A and B are shown apart, each in its own frame.
Chain A
Amino acid sequence: MKRRGFLKKAATATTGAFLAPYILPSGRLFAATGAQLAEHVVMVMFAGGVRNQESVEQTYLDQSQGIPVQGNIMYNMLDGAPPTQKIVYGTDGNLAGDTPIPQILGSTIQQQGTLFREVRSSHAGHYGGMNAMLQGNTLYSQGLRQKPINPTIFEYTRRHLGAPASKVWFVGNGIGNSTPLMNYSSHENYGADYGANFLAPDITFGSQGIEHLSNAKIYHPEEELDPIYQMKYFLDNNFENVGGAIETIHNTEAEKQSIKLFMREMYNLGGNIARPPVADNGDLNTIGYAVEVMKWFKPNLMVLNLGAVDACHANYTDYLSALHRADHAVGHLWNQINQIPEMANNTIMLITPECGRNLESNPIRDENDWRAFDHSDSNTQRVFTQMVGPNVPSNLVRGSVGNQIGETVDNCPTIAEILGFKDDVMNNGLISSTAQSLFDRI
């Protein structure tokens, strides 16, 4: 009897030893392969298609409308004096947009970090461009309205860093353009199990969310929620036995509870959140809620996308206005990150447009008789990247017109290097052969 008992215990222990790597609640299977440069990364997919002419080249109206007025309308991110004439991008004063938004940062992101002036974007579209940044790959077979084909940086982070779901966030500027699909891929070795928490604050905390989500009944965790979950798990087990299962990103019950409390807090705040000083478009609202997510969860990785700049398809004045606000948003974001004790001096921020815009305009003219720009020609391949934070060289500029250094796909291995699992990403054969960590391009 004792022998049988011993064998049983030994078998259990052995089985446990084999199973243990697969049942760790963190989901971590492998040790991170390198030292971390920072514990937190924030990546901004900047703003919906930005021409280098109006961003790093600071040509304002000169190379778009043939009006010889130049200047920097992104003075939180870039060094350079703003335009002195034909100011249309600010808030309304005597005239529409004639009052530029005051600078937030004492020194620019360019001064604090590294600027890659000419980076290659491989996609002319938003979804393809964002997917390239998240996957580290330019998969031309990637369809719209289709989950990313290869693993995203969210999945790499959760699997190779061992980060729980509530430490990996994707804050989107809405639910259009397949944005909600990007929080995890359909790749068989990664997928939903390692997905990010997605949030589109404009909806969740907008009028729709207030109507349908804000009045949630509070259930007692032990007296009421426990029985609900127990009965649900019984039903789920029965269903799983016949092959049925739902994809889930595996927030634990405690994480779910924390997210629900966060949502309740946001509804209670009634919109009085950490928005930027000027918050008159959707991007600025998104940034405000992204800051609240960071304050609450202190994520290892947060990706957020801004999109208002895409107004440029039909209105160049609105494009300038949105670009100025996107810079204001990034300034506010960096400022707020450095006011969160757990993230201050321990966060690297990356900023890259998912694609550029055309060299030639389309026929649409706005109220100032200025021409609009789509994104489809070779000029869309010209974008920039900025990095700022600990271990990032300050006041460094790499690349120039005609000398592209870096690609948008570099964002993925760069984040992997910052968080300490670069080799896992570089050696898995799933990212573009030309993708490199930007630290290797400095």
Chain B
Amino acid sequence: MKKTLSILLIGALAISFSGCEKDKLYEVNEETLLAPNANKTKLKSDQQYIAILYANLFQTALSSDNLFEASQCVQSIGDKDLVHEVLISNYMNQSGVILPTNDDMRADVDGFITETYNRFLVRNPTEAERQYFKNYINTHPNVRPELVYFSFALSDEYQYY
């Protein structure tokens, strides 16, 4: 009788303890999903903009003397969009700008878009961006890599890091 009672007691305890064990609950941290360009919040200085622009176009560094003079030129004109445009136009008129050929671009538009985003905006394009540029390039036969590079160098996002 005692033995039966003991077995029942152990059994009851075992059941009650097993009832305390909670189910494991797995959660994820709350994260705000941002666009890939959303973390660029700092405006480049004139010198940073010029140095990075030159490096992106020529794949080499601009000398410090030239960097200083070019930044003075940017400061001497009030419309920054305008002076950037003139500066880029000057660089595009120099030999040594490293550009893919038009044939290369059109042979692999996808690759060109990715490479351009990586080079200028230091990120990959979103699918929407990729699609836009793909359509734009394919439907505008007069668009060549130089014009695409120009637009990226002139973009607002390029002025931030």
Interface stretch, picked from A55-63, A80-88, A236-244, A419-427, is A236-244
Is B89 close to A, CB under 8 A?
yes
A256 x B152 contact (CB < 8 A): no
Known contacts A216-B93, A235-B156, A246-B80; A227 and B73 CB within 8 A of each other: no
B78 x A208 contact (CB < 8 A): no
Q: How far is the CB of A244 from chain B (nearest CB, A)?
A: 6
Number of interface residues of A (CB under 8 A): 55
Q: How far is the CA of A165 from the CA of B40 in the complex (A)?
A: 29
A195 x B78 contact (CB < 8 A): yes
B152 x A217 contact (CB < 8 A): no
Q: How large is the interface on B (under 10, 10 to 19, 20 to 34, 35 or more residues)?
A: 35 or more
Chain B residues with CB below 8 A from A259, complex form: 79, 82
Is A290 close to B, CB under 8 A?
no
Interface stretch, picked from B9-17, B104-112, B135-143, is B135-143
Is A278 close to B, CB under 8 A?
no
Is A26 close to B, CB under 8 A?
no
Residue from the list A211, A242, A245, A249 in contact with B37, Cβ < 8 A? A242
Binary A-proximity of B123-139 (CB < 8 A = 1, otherwise 0): 00000010011001000
Q: How far is the CA of A183 from the CA of B76 in the complex (A)?
A: 12
Chain A residues with CB below 8 A from B81, complex form: 246, 248, 251, 256
Known contacts A195-B78, A211-B69; A228 and B90 CB within 8 A of each other: no
Q: How far is the CA of A196 from the CA of B79 in the complex (A)?
A: 9
B157 x A248 contact (CB < 8 A): no
Chain A residues with CB below 8 A from B140, complex form: 227
Q: How far is the CA of A175 from the CA of B73 in the complex (A)?
A: 9
Q: How far is the CB of B105 from chain A (nearest CB, A)?
A: 13
Q: How far is the CB of B45 from chain A (nearest CB, A)?
A: 13
A235 x B152 contact (CB < 8 A): yes
Known contacts A224-B147, A231-B133, A244-B160; A212 and B78 CB within 8 A of each other: no
B38 x A242 contact (CB < 8 A): yes
Question: Which of A197, A207, A216, A230 gathers most chain B CB within 10 Å?
Answer: A216
Chain A residues with CB below 8 A from B122, complex form: none
B155 x A236 contact (CB < 8 A): yes
Question: Which of A227, A235, A244 gathers most chain B CB within 10 Å?
Answer: A235
Q: How far is the CA of A215 from the CA of B136 in the complex (A)?
A: 29
Is A234 close to B, CB under 8 A?
yes
Chain B residues with CB below 8 A from A199, complex form: 76-78
Residue in B closest to A259 when the chains form the complex, CB atoms: B82
Is A203 close to B, CB under 8 A?
yes
Chain B residues with CB below 8 A from A211, complex form: 66, 69
Known contacts A199-B76, A217-B93; A234 and B37 CB within 8 A of each other: no
Interface contact tally, CB-CB below 8 A: 152
Q: How far is the CB of B65 from chain A (nearest CB, A)?
A: 10
Is B154 close to A, CB under 8 A?
yes
Is A384 close to B, CB under 8 A?
no
Is A223 close to B, CB under 8 A?
yes
Is A170 close to B, CB under 8 A?
yes
Known contacts A228-B147, A251-B82, A260-B86; A236 and B156 CB within 8 A of each other: yes
Chain B residues with CB below 8 A from A260, complex form: 82, 85-86
A208 x B82 contact (CB < 8 A): no
Chain A residues with CB below 8 A from B35, complex form: 238, 241-242
Chain B residues with CB below 8 A from A46, complex form: none
Residue from the list A203, A232, A240 in contact with B151, Cβ < 8 A? A232
Q: How far is the CA of A201 from the CA of B77 in the complex (A)?
A: 9
Binary A-proximity of B41-83 (CB < 8 A = 1, otherwise 0): 1010000000000000000000000100110110111111111
A215 x B75 contact (CB < 8 A): no
Is B148 close to A, CB under 8 A?
yes
Q: How far is the CA of A70 from the CA of B156 in the complex (A)?
A: 58
| 12 A–B contacts, CB within 8 A, in A order | A180-B78, A208-B70, A212-B66, A212-B69, A213-B87, A223-B142, A227-B147, A227-B151, A231-B143, A235-B156, A247-B80, A249-B78
In order of increasing CB-CB distance, the 8 nearest A-B pairs are A198-B78, A231-B151, A203-B76, A216-B89, A235-B155, A200-B76, A242-B38, A217-B93
Residues of A within 8 A of B (CB): 165, 170, 175, 180, 183, 195-204, 207-209, 211-219, 223-224, 227-232, 234-236, 238-249, 251, 256, 259-260, 263
Given known contacts A165-B79, A200-B77, A231-B136, what 13 new A-B pairs fall within 8 Å (CB)? A198-B77, A202-B76, A204-B76, A215-B93, A217-B93, A227-B151, A229-B151, A230-B136, A231-B143, A235-B158, A241-B35, A242-B35, A244-B156
